[in-house]
Amino acid sequence: MNKEIIFLIEESPEGGYTARALGHSIYTEGENIEELKHALVDAVKCHFEKDDMPFLIRMHIVKDEVISV
């Protein structure tokens, strides 16, 4: 059993946030961080059987910024 699952969180160009699990075929999105957290819990519950479900979700939030020189 895995103790945690890690999601890569990025801001969507269309607005809101997208989340992609590392090492699993799970993808979800939300309009804001709170909505995304609920979507992550739902996605993990749908993807795993009860005995295999991780008990921690780690959100790795990536913010891409471009600075001109």
Longest dimension (CA), the chain: 52
Question: What is the tens place of the pLDDT at every residue in 8-57?
Answer: 999 999 999 999 999 999 999 999 999 999 999 999 999 999 999 999 99
Is residue 45, in this structure, part of any structural domain at all? yes
Is residue 38, in this structure, part of any structural domain at all? yes
Is residue 68, in this structure, part of any structural domain at all? no
Q: By the 8 A CB rule, do 54 and 2 touch?
A: yes
* Residue 6 phi, psi (nearest 5): -110, 130
Tell me the pTM.
Answer: 0.87
For the chain, what is the domain count?
A: 1
Q: For residue 2, what pLDDT is reported?
A: 65
